C-alpha cells in the first residue's frame, strides 16, 4: 500500500508514485465537483480508479492518503471507464 505522504494524487500524482491517466467531472457544476479519476501506479503498472465529490470548498481527493483509498481495476477497464 503506497502512502502519499500528504501529497494529493489528483494534483501531484507523480509525488504519489502515480500517473494520472484521465479524469471526468460527472456533473460539471460550477461550484461543486463529482470527479472520477484513473491512475496508473508507476512502480507496479496496476491501474486504480477513485471518485470524489463535494462543494467548492474542499480540494478534490484531499482525503486520499494511499492506494487503499482507491479501487484497483483492470487495464481494459482503465482504458474504457472514462468518456
- Whether 52 and 21 have beta carbons less than 8 Å apart is answered as no
Give dist(CA 43, CA 61) in Å, integer: 21
Cβ-based neighbour number of residue 39 at 10 Å? 27
For the stretch 3-13, pLDDT in tens is: 999 999 999 99
Q: What is the pLDDT of residue 1?
A: 67
For the stretch 30-61, pLDDT in tens is: 889 999 999 999 999 999 999 999 998 889 99
Give dist(CA 36, CA 50) in Å, integer: 6
Between the alpha carbon of residue 51 and those of residues 22, 43, the distances in Å are 12, 22
Residue 14 has which C-alpha cell?
507523480
CA-atom Rg of the chain in angstroms: 12
Segments making up each domain of the chain, as ranges? 13-80
Amino acid at each position: 500500500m503506497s502512502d502519499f505522504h500528504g501529497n494529493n494524487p489528483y494534483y501531484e500524482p507523480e509525488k504519489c508514485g502515480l500517473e494520472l491517466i484521465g479524469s471526468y467531472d460527472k456533473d460539471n457544476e460550477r461550484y461543486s465537483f463529482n470527479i472520477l479519476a484513473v491512475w496508473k501506479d508507476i512502480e507496479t503498472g496496476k491501474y486504480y480508479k477513485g471518485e470524489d465529490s463535494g462543494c467548492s470548498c474542499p480540494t478534490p481527493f484531499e482525503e486520499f492518503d494511499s492506494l487503499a483509498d482507491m479501487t484497483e481495476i483492470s487495464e481494459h477497464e482503465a482504458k474504457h471507464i472514462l468518456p
